[in-house]
Amino acid sequence: MASFNRVVLLGNLTRDIELRYVGSGMAVTDIGLAVNDRVKRNDQWTEEVTFVDITLWGRTAEVANEYLSKGSSVLIEGRLKMDSWEKDGQKRTKLKVIGERMQMVGGRGGGGGGGGSRSSGEDNSQDYSSGDSYESASSPPQDEIPF
């Protein structure tokens, strides 16, 4: 049986980037993304927000730290991953996204992210992938999961 695990999300960062490094020196960050959707209920259109936790590795994490901040628009492509741990004797799980590609969206004004000297009239979307940071871009080294 075949399976397919791909996620594409476009939203805004819910907090500033906090970059850290694991034992091997690889960069990692966990970001929060707010994804808005318009839904119709009882003949009224309302905004519905979904909050998604995303982990970025390697150069992608470093670029996010350098150019993005709370409110920045970003497109993330990656895969779903179920994390599980035990706390106070209780088993817990959380579904999150491992971000494999990131594209910055929007301009410098209005939280669109980005430093640099690009003018607001230019298309300043950039695509970053952590594919060359380690052998498999789809998951970090097993001995370096940062929790």
Digit-coded pLDDT (tens) for 58-110: 999 999 999 999 999 999 999 999 999 999 999 999 999 999 999 999 865 44
pTM over 0.75: no
Which residues are within 8 A (CB) of 30 and not within 5 positions of it... i.e. 6 or more apart? 18, 53, 54, 55, 56, 146
Q: Which domain holds residue 129?
A: 7-115+123-133
Give the position of tokens 């999961």.
145
- Whole-angstrom Cα distance, residue 120 to residue 81? 36
The values of phi and psi at residue 63, to 5°, are -65, -40
* Residue 144 covered by a domain: no
CATH value at residue 19: 2.40.50.140
Q: How many domains does the chain have?
A: 1
Place 127 in a pLDDT band, splitting at 50, 70 and 90. low
With respect to residue 41, please indicate whether it lies within any of the assigned structural domains.
yes
Per-residue pLDDT of 13-68, as tens digits, reads 999 999 999 999 999 999 999 999 999 888 999 999 999 999 999 999 999 999 99
Does residue 138 belong to any structural domain of this protein?
A: no
